[in-house]
Amino acid sequence: MEDKEDFKTRLKIEKNRLEKLTFKSENKKGLFLGNALKLGTELVAAVVVGTIIGFILDNWFGTKPILIIIFFFIGFAAGILNVVRTAKNMQKDNK
């Protein structure tokens, strides 16, 4: 019986210690590296998707070079939007 009580208090102490530990050691260095790797593809992917959409629409309407150019730039804008959003999220995590 005494053993059990002893064990319970020790468990409690250990739990408290662990909670503090995880709270303190929440350095997000790994997360930052992940975010840094994220930004590049974020931009490229939107440009690629925009260009593909432009290409498909061009084939549909038969307006060969016009829509692909327009959608390339729209895709670029979407890419910038993605990057800005990711950067904003990073800042929010930082605080």
Partner 1 sequence: MAANPMVQFNVYRIGPEIKFGNIDLSFTNASLFMLISASIITIFLYFSTKNKRLVPSKIQLISELLYNFVAKMISDTAGSKAKPYFPFIFSLFVFILICNMVGMLPYSFTVTSHIIVTLVMALFIFIAVTIIGFLKHGLKYLSIFVPSGVPVVLLPLITIIEIISYLSRPVSLSVRLFANMMAGHTMLKVFGGFVISLGLVGGWLPLSFSVALTGLEILVAFLQAYVFAILTCIYLNDALNLHH
Does 87 bind partner 1 (CB under 8 A)? Our answer is no
Residue in this structure with the two tokens 């959409």, named with its chain if needed: 53
Mark residues 1-40: x for contact with partner 1 by CB under 8 A, - for none. Answer: -----------------------------x--xx--xx--
CA nearest neighbour of 12 among 1, 4, 24, 23: 4
CA nearest neighbour of 72 among 42, 47, 35, 37: 47
Binding site for partner 1 (CB under 8 A): 30, 33-34, 37-38, 41-42, 44-46, 48-50, 53, 71, 74-75, 77-79, 81-82, 89
